[in-house]
Homo-oligomer: A and B are copies of this chain.
Amino acid sequence: MSYASYPPAMRRLVNELTKLPTIGEKSAVRLAYHLLSHDPSQALELSEAIKEARLIVRECERCFGLSEEPLCEICCDQARTRSIVCVVEKPADLIAIERSMGYRGLFHVLHGLWSPLRGVNPEKTRIRELFDRIERTHADSDSSERIEEIVLATGTTVEGDATALYIANSVKHFPVRISRIAQGLPKGGELEYADEMTLSHALEGRRRM
């Protein structure tokens, strides 16, 4: 008989860690060993932080960004332009746009993209809620809340493009402007190293100076 395994509680921890994205068994063992062999308070604080975040953080009822309140800070901020809604795939994209300081409107977080190859249809995302949201603000007599522009800021991948197109087609019957974030050379980009698709989009989207 051989004891080719860790104690049960460590095995359970390794097993839970491997359920996380990008964590394989070797990484899980390394992380578990780190948690067991360093300062005990570090492991207990991580345990507590996971539980607390899971119990407290929810999706904003309007934009589906992450929030600890029914409505997130952005949706509550009356100083923002409320007639324009930027549609993103996930909370990290919203944060990236906020950090760019180039946008002062509201958001809508889809929590996914239309991806037939991975079996994700639009109904599994918050696309339906976006349509409802537009409809609601147009039915409402309060014009300050009326959505007049939708900026489709999903990634420029096949899935991001497909989702943007799907949304654009679906909201055509509303009197809203639809725009797509620009594609082109990244800041500091050299033409020599840009791929053909990026260059072709950069030329196509050229603007008068």
List A residues at the B interface (Cβ < 8 Å). Answer: 1-10, 12-13, 15-17, 19-23, 27, 29-37, 40, 42-54, 56-57, 66-68, 72-74, 77, 79, 90-92, 95, 98-99, 101, 111
Alpha-carbon distance A177/B187, docked complex (angstroms) = 65
The main secondary structure of chain A at its interface with chain B is: helix
Can you name 11 A-B pairs with beta carbons within 8 Å? A1-B79, A3-B72, A3-B74, A10-B57, A17-B46, A19-B46, A21-B34, A22-B30, A33-B91, A44-B54, A47-B48
Are the CB atoms of A50 and B54 closer together than 8 Å?
no
Alpha-carbon distance A189/B17, docked complex (angstroms) = 33
Are the CB atoms of A43 and B50 closer together than 8 Å?
yes
Say yes or no: A22-B27 contact (C-beta < 8 A), given A54-B36, A91-B33, A98-B4.
yes
Are the CB atoms of A53 and B66 closer together than 8 Å?
no
Number of copies: 2
Are the CB atoms of B98 and A10 closer together than 8 Å?
no
Are the CB atoms of A4 and B99 closer together than 8 Å?
yes
